Amino acid sequence: MNQASQATLARARDANLDWRELATRYRVLLVSAFLLAFPLVMPFTALAINILIYGLYALGFNLLFGYLGLLSFGHAALLGAGAYFCGIAIVHFGMPWFAAIAIGVLGGVITAAAIGALATRTRGIYFAMVTLALSQCVYYLFYQAVDWTGGENGLRGINVREIGIFGISFDFINPMTRYYVVAGFVILALIVLSRILASPFGAVIEAVRENEERARASGYNVTLVRLITFILSGAFCGLAGALYALQLSTVPIEIMHYETSGLAVMMCLLGGMGTFFGPFVGAAVFLMLENLVSLWTVHWQLIVGAVFMICVLFFPRGIWGTLTMRGKS
Partner 1 sequence: MAGLTLDLIALQLFTGVALGAVYVLLAIGLSLIFGMLTVVNFAHGAFYMLGAYAGLFLMTQGVNFWVCLLLVPLLVGGIGLAVERVLIRPLYGRGIDYPLLLTFGLSYVIVELVRIGFGKTGYPVDTPELLQGAVDIGVGYFPLYRLFVIGATAVILFGLWLFLERTSFGLIIRAGARDPEIIRVLGVNVRRVWLVVFGLGTGIAALAGLLAAPLQGVIPEMGGPVLAEAFVVTVVGGMGSLLGAVLAGLLVGIVVSITSLFAPEMAKVSIFALMAVVLLVRPQGFFGRAGLMS
Binding site for partner 1 (CB under 8 A): 71, 73, 118, 121-126, 128-130, 132-134, 136-137, 140-141, 144, 258-259, 262, 265-266, 269, 299, 301-302, 304-306, 308-309, 311-313, 316
Cβ atoms within 10 Å of 311's Cβ, excluding its own: 19
**Given its phi and psi angles, is residue 184 left (phi above 0), alpha (psi -120 to 50 degrees) or beta?**
alpha
| Closer residue to partner 1 (CB): 136 or 250 | 136
| Closer residue to partner 1 (CB): 38 or 73 | 73
Q: How far is the CB of 196 from partner 1 (least distance, A)?
A: 23
Could you tell me if 71 and 128 are in contact, meaning their C-beta atoms sit under 8 angstroms apart?
A: yes
Q: How far is the CB of 215 from partner 1 (least distance, A)?
A: 18
Q: How far is the CB of 111 from partner 1 (least distance, A)?
A: 14
Residues whose CB is less than 8 angstroms from the CB of residue 307 and which lie 6 or more positions away in sequence, other chains included: 270, 289
Q: How far is the CB of 132 from partner 1 (least distance, A)?
A: 5
Q: How far is the CB of 297 from partner 1 (least distance, A)?
A: 9
| Closer residue to partner 1 (CB): 65 or 244 | 65
| Closer residue to partner 1 (CB): 158 or 283 | 283
Could you tell me if 145 and 89 are in contact, meaning their C-beta atoms sit under 8 angstroms apart?
A: no
Residues whose CB is less than 8 angstroms from the CB of residue 119 and which lie 6 or more positions away in sequence, other chains included: 72, 74, 127, 130, 131, 134, 230
Residues whose CB is less than 8 angstroms from the CB of residue 94 and which lie 6 or more positions away in sequence, other chains included: none
| Closer residue to partner 1 (CB): 220 or 308 | 308
Element (H, E) at 326: helix 318-326
Minimal CA–CA distance to 64: which of 241, 240, 197, 226? 226
Cβ atoms within 10 Å of 19's Cβ, excluding its own: 9
| Closer residue to partner 1 (CB): 11 or 299 | 299
**Longest alpha-carbon distance in the chain:** 67
Could you tell me if 176 and 10 are in contact, meaning their C-beta atoms sit under 8 angstroms apart?
A: no
DSSP state letter for 153: G
| Closer residue to partner 1 (CB): 34 or 140 | 140
Q: How far is the CB of 17 from partner 1 (least distance, A)?
A: 31
Determine phi and psi for 155, rounding to 5 degrees: -90, 120
Alpha helices (runs of H) in 72-199, residue ranges in sequence order? 75-91, 97-119, 126-144, 146-149, 175-198
DSSP state letter for 298: S
| Closer residue to partner 1 (CB): 194 or 223 | 223
